[in-house]
Structure 1
């Protein structure tokens, strides 16, 4: 029996459609999928019959839950660095292709959109989120850092939301993602099929008439406090300011920071601060270099083991506490 392709491309009216088709794996990206999307987008870029591109995820649960980090962990353990390098180099090239695509690129996000899924959507001009959408960059929970251009994107979100999201890994609803700037339109799940058909006929001009007014931003009451806490110079400084807050959002943020890799918090903070002054191509280049040093840290293989392989959710971080991380060792990751 022939397996279904993991990426399905077809023409539909004025648009080209891409379907990420690994629903059992929450449409997580592997290298074959990245290469397939790259080929498709390059073909359609020069096709006069394709006026726009629509990308979706198969199944009911996810748009795209990120990259296939189990394969990356195995490559790191085996010392097969070329496999990991190829994945990141080609994924980041695809991110840049999406960001510079000359035709409207429309992501319909209905379900989980994390990590590599952010890269497959947020770099495009139009990002439609439903009430089922859930956006997140949870890389610190696996001893990594927000990549796919996130070191460029997150520092440019309003206030210091990007630092808050990148360090804690906490998720945003579809409506909140529009408020934050990760999505551009809010369309209820029930209207998504109608919108998709209208896009094929008339292009992105129909987005406004199908979108609905946003509910209030759930983080709006806390934006000033987020700004205060996440402008601290260091990770311990951020923790100290959060400990002074009495609201539930601060307790959730503190719990997240105390759960994820302490070392990953330090290198993520530095990477996001560096990215604020970089172009997207430069940020992607810097991220690629950082994959090589951070993946060699024991927290990466341990984090993926605990969260994805064994799923015991009990990672043994080294060091185990934020207070025990050596800032000099983190600085070395950026100069090696």
Structure 2
């Protein structure tokens, strides 16, 4: 049985449901329509299927993010309803993926950023290929790594998660696997055959055994961040951005890599850096549901702040890559400014997910 939609295609056998993102012209960026269709299908399939496969159509992207441009343009004219509903429904979908009753397999073949990370990172099984390009670049747009990142990033090895969240570092191909973001690495030419084998699976053991057979061993020594993991842990263990910058400054004269990291951080939104750091440390002791509800509050507050539109404008509208964030420097961002992101927001009809 096949149900054809404009933006999501659902295919179903007796035991396996396959979801295909179908907005390749927009790099499969998630909009509200797509989120609603995925939510409905997952709720149905976890009761009627044995396995779910999530993949995308197109050559370039699995999913390059969420439709934040539409959220920002609406917020700019004072319409926050779309953004409030979008994030509420998206995070509800992320939570469902993370708590699904049946195995969920994601093919991260191509660009996997932002909202695409949310579709993948909570999966039981996450397949990277040589085409995978992973990043969480939200601090660059006056936002914060969301879709459950406050749960996932603190649970990565050492402080690699905080580093990735603050810098938006891009990881390619096997590096996504060696960072622990993917559970398996499969060459893209083998994905079709892998899918055909997964269509015969009836549970976790079948799925894992199948994925293990297709998994290709890669050289961990080629993980681009491996030489820097010690430095990352030594620096990003700090719970204040000012201390992170101070420690980086101690090593900058002897390390070109540290200089690049510092430049990257200075290019981010100062408020986003501090908000992301606080969310990371709070997320250490919270479950996924709690983290997503915290992020929902943060998102509702963030889209009402000037930095969000300014970041989107600079990256996706004017595309001048020259955002004017306010405050413009890290020391100017006060604790009160950061705390406001975490206070209960009662200005919308969307409560907890």
- TM-score category (smaller protein): over 0.9
Q: Secondary structure at the match of 2:120?
A: coil
SS of the equivalent of 1:218 reads: coil
Higher deviation after alignment, 246-255 or 137-146: 246-255
1:189 aligns with 2:188: yes
Per the alignment, residue 320 of structure 1 pairs with 328
Cα RMSD over matched residues?
1.6
Q: Tell me, in whole angstroms, the C-alpha distance in 1 between the residues paired with 2:310 and 2:116.
A: 23
**Residue 265 of structure 2 corresponds to residue 257 of structure 1:** yes
- Alignment partners' CA distance in 1, 2:79 and 2:246: 40
Q: Does the CA contact (< 8 Å) of 2:134 and 2:171 recur in 1?
A: yes
Q: Specify the alignment match of 1:237 in structure 2.
A: 243
Unpaired segments ≥5 residues, structure 2:
345-353
Aligned length: 332
Q: 2 CA distance for matches of 1:116 and 1:100?
A: 17
Whole-Å separation in 1 of the counterparts to 2:256 and 2:191: 33
Aligned position for 2:341:
333
Instruction: Note the 1:207-218 alignment, pairs <5 A.
Output: 207-216=211-220, 217-218=223-224
Q: Is the 8 A contact 2:239 2:281 kept in 1?
A: no
Q: Report deviation, 1:13.
A: 6.5
Does the 8 Å CA contact 2:125/2:184 hold for their aligned counterparts? Answer: yes
So what's the TM-score if we normalise by structure 1?
A: 0.95
Question: Which residue in the other structure is 1:33 paired with?
Answer: 34
Q: 8 Å contact 1:13–1:201 — kept in the other structure?
A: no
The CA deviation at 1:39 is: 1.0
- The 5-angstrom pairing of residues 261-276 of structure 1 reads 261-276=269-284
Give SS of 1:27's match. coil
**Deviation at 1:218?**
2.2
Work out whether residues 313 and 319 of structure 2, in 8 Å CA contact, stay in contact via their aligned partners in 1.
yes
Instruction: Give me the whole-angstrom Cα distance separating, in 2, the residues matched to 1:248 and 1:136.
Output: 22
Partner of 2:349: none
- Whether contact under 8 Å (1:174, 1:183) holds in the other structure is no
Tell me which residue corresponds to 1:92. 91
Show structure 1 runs of 5+ residues with no match: none
How far apart are residue 177 of structure 1 and its match? Answer: 2.0
Q: Distance in 2 between matches of 1:4 and 1:311?
A: 31
Provide the TM-score with structure 2 as the length reference. 0.90
Task: State the alpha-carbon separation in 1 of the partners of residues 151 and 216 from structure 2.
Answer: 29
Q: 1:129-278 alignment to 2 at 5 Å? A: 129-202=128-201, 203-204=206-207, 205-216=209-220, 217-245=223-251, 246-278=254-286
Which residue of structure 2 lines up, in the alignment, with residue 286 of structure 1?
294
Deviation at 1:4, TM superposition (A): 5.7
Task: Work out the CA distance in 2 between the residues paired with 1:236 and 1:164.
Answer: 14
* Cα distance in 2 for residues equivalent to 1:132 and 1:332: 39
- Asked whether the equivalents of residues 132 and 189 of structure 1 are also in contact (C-alpha less than 8 Å), the reply is yes
| Runs of 4+ residues deviating >6 angstroms | none
- Tell me the CA shift for residue 311 of structure 1: 1.1
Partner of 2:75: 76
Deviations 1:115-150 (A, max 9, x none): 111110111100000011011111000000011110
